[in-house]
Structure 1
Amino acid sequence: MNKSNHKITGNILIVDDIPENLKLLSQILKNAGHRVRAVNSGKMALTTIHVQVPDLILLDINMPEMDGYEVCEQLKANLKTQNIPVIFLSALDEVFNKVKAFYIGGVDYIIKPFHLEEVLIRIQNQLQINYSRRLIIKQNLMLEKKNQQLSTSATLLTKKSENLEQTLQELKQAQVQIIQNAKMAGLGQLAAGVAHEINNSINFINNNLGYANSYFQELLNLIKLYQEEYPSPNQKIQNYVEDIELDFLSDDLPQLISSMKNGAERIEKIVDSLGNFSRINQAEYKLVDIHQGIESTLALLKSRLEKTDNLLPVQIIKEYAQIPQIQCYPHQLNQVFLNLLNNAIDFLEIKRQKKIEQQLPTIWITTEVKNSELVMMTITDNGVGIDESIRERIFEPFFTTKTVGKGTGLGLSVSYQIIVEQHHGKLTCDSKVDEGATFMIEIPITNG
């Protein structure tokens, strides 16, 4: 990876089964100064990556034999390749596909057909983030080496070691902030783009459903008028009326249009939830209803809570108190809700797999006012719990008990920073193995 005149160029691997896409992207990136390798299958990608690790991967989703999701999962499960930024390229424009891409470790998602400027800017952003990450790691290694050298001087060891430890922690916090800012910026852009595109389509559907219903009623009235004026049509018309089940169509089509309208309204609510969860213009400090933030987060996690062939559903029990609006950064607070609820769902996975109906996987969410000055929120699950030996470390940056590729060790650390440093509150955990975990948030109602 090279950096000159504030522009970073790198070694980029393109994975796409369509030769035209490979040729176009290769030419675009070479013209921008990047070194490019191109392969047409997931298996070839994994092979060539182990020969030479790229700085960034542009990865198509729909490919034969091995799709882009599986390739990304294998990369994230390998210590050698888990830190390679993966940008998905796909014509799939559904929210589910985008959320899945980010969930398994993708850093960005570009929709085909793409625009030249957009591809180059998104690649440049991820190369910049990766360059910053490597620079921080290099600085960490230099600090650790310096620490070893200082060990030869007993008189200076204690003082300088403390200074280095403080610097190291500051660098780790800076790295967390860089990753978090990039992640939230990408999420905000994704939310805005998704909301805009879906709203345009839903508005078109909603606007035309009324006309469709009106036109149908007019046609139905015309048919009734024909039946009244010509009660005995010829046999051909009678046969056709029976074939299409005219009476059934007359009764069912209004219900069908009504169902379509209800579905469109539900999509609008989902888009509103996405906007409430991550809206760029909500970065300022303001008065908000935290219940709305919790509900928006639950709406985004709906697919993870539902029953599947292999998993029991997760029951959500809410006990909301009458609480005032609080002063906070809503964008950041919603991220805390997302991190804690995602962890709770992960803790419940074993219980969901056992499918014991008498032990239904459950998450309890409560809110209350404490001492008229604080709002307390708790998120409790009846999952596997957290061992006491590691409970004190769960808020440390990059500490995780999850398997490689499934956890970054940033979720709880970022949440702790947001609650304690940004909102002057408290974030604590109480847990016993096999009895579940409770995360408690305390935030001042006002910080004036």
Structure 2
Amino acid sequence: MLKQSARPLADILVIDDTPENLALLSQMLTEKGYKVRSVTKGSSGIRGAQAVPPDLILLDVKMPQMDGYEVCHQLKADQRTKDIPVIFISALGDVFDKIKAFQAGGVDYITKPFQVEEVLARLNTHLTIGKLQQQLQKQNLQLQQEIAQRAAAEETFAKAFRSCPNPIAMATVAEGFFLEVNTSFLQMSGYSREEIIGRSITEINLESASAIYNQVVQKSLQNGFVRNQEFQFLTKSGTVKTILLSVEIIELAGKQCTLSIMNDITERKRLENEFISLVSHELRTPMTSMMGALDLLSSGKLGTLTEQGQQVLSIATNNTERLIRLVNDILDLERMKSGKITMQPTYCDLSLLLTQARETMQTMADRADVQLELESCSVEVFVDPDRILQTLTNLLSNAIKFSDANSKIWLRTKVLNNFCQIEVQDQGRGIPADKLQTIFERFQQVDASDSRKKGGTGLGLTICRHIIEHHGGKIWVESNFGQGSTFYLTLPLSEQKILCL
């Protein structure tokens, strides 16, 4: 079995009209691991180099028909061979001969009689230089391609930026100075580009809007982006527009910047407000009349119904009550979002609110055979008591609905640093992990049939979230499916004495 030969160190082409020199160089280089091709004529050497370009050429100066200088000139004039390093070998040691060799395009000059070590050393040097040059050319080509790709990407981004129908602005994170805005932004704001660039958002906007913008930037720094934050923008003419603001943190010239994309929803908000007004006047009034008529029927003053009639009446009453709750929740939520329902905070004892919430829900708990446990602290908070009571009763109502008979629900208060934490813990069926992040969104329920079976609207937790966030707090849930859930909410503390009961 033949042993596979090692890969040669390099391909060397030797051009010399003296056979003895060719034989010596071929033997010497072959023994050192180089692949050697030998020719005795300059024209043959040129054709060989063009057909299969070598890594380096050893070229004799004095040759018949075509000397080494002419051979080198032709090699350097050809695109295929111009980058091949050429080392001249000659008995001519005059400085003029060497200069002529370098002018022809040679990279080095060895005088005969040559030393083997010298030839090998210079050969290795120029092969190394050649490889480094090839690597450099490859890197330069790659860099040029990357630059071209980046330039193309920047041009694409610039075109999209300029032509995007949504207002877009770029600003520095540290100072909030506008760096660039698109045409849509200028049209929405009413400002010219010269009036915007270099100014900060606090200079041209409402104080409250600037505070919201700063909060959005801080959230973006934590998460990398923020999506669809409602925001009030003051135009040059003094008109306030409602926009949805999405912010992403980007880097420009080593600086952290914000890329803000806006969606003007002013008209949509106007239509929403009209819808709320329509629902308020055109739906609630007839539903209230329907409820009164059903109550009158159930009282028996209009005659006695059969057992089947009573069942139909009960179904109608339950569905009407559910529809009224749904309409009221929709109106409540939309008014909160639009700012039409303002909080009326006052200093109050949180333990009294928790006690009132338990007493309010006690009848419902008794019907469900569920025990309510209260563990509270006397903590003074600056809140809207009606809205906090609405939140607590909503959470307790949900806990009761999804708890089995003979189970317990705990309503607790804890003081943590500068805020208090309220917990509503049940032993119910729990919430699947994939629902924990969406349970506070509109019409999101663990089971789609819950709204029918439990009488819920799917908006209660959304309303709770808005109430707590308006108070500067947070609300979330932790749950193990099948083992119960715990809803947590936090409220800032007023600087008063705290007494745990």
More strand by share: 2
Q: Is the radius of gyration larger for structure 1 or structure 2?
A: 2
User: Common fold, TM-score beyond 0.5?
Assistant: no
Give the TM interval when normalised to the shorter protein.
Answer: 0.3 to 0.5
* Structure with more relative contact order (C-alpha pairs < 8 Å, separation 6 or more): 1
TM-score (norm 1): 0.33
TM-score (norm 2): 0.29
More helix by share: 1
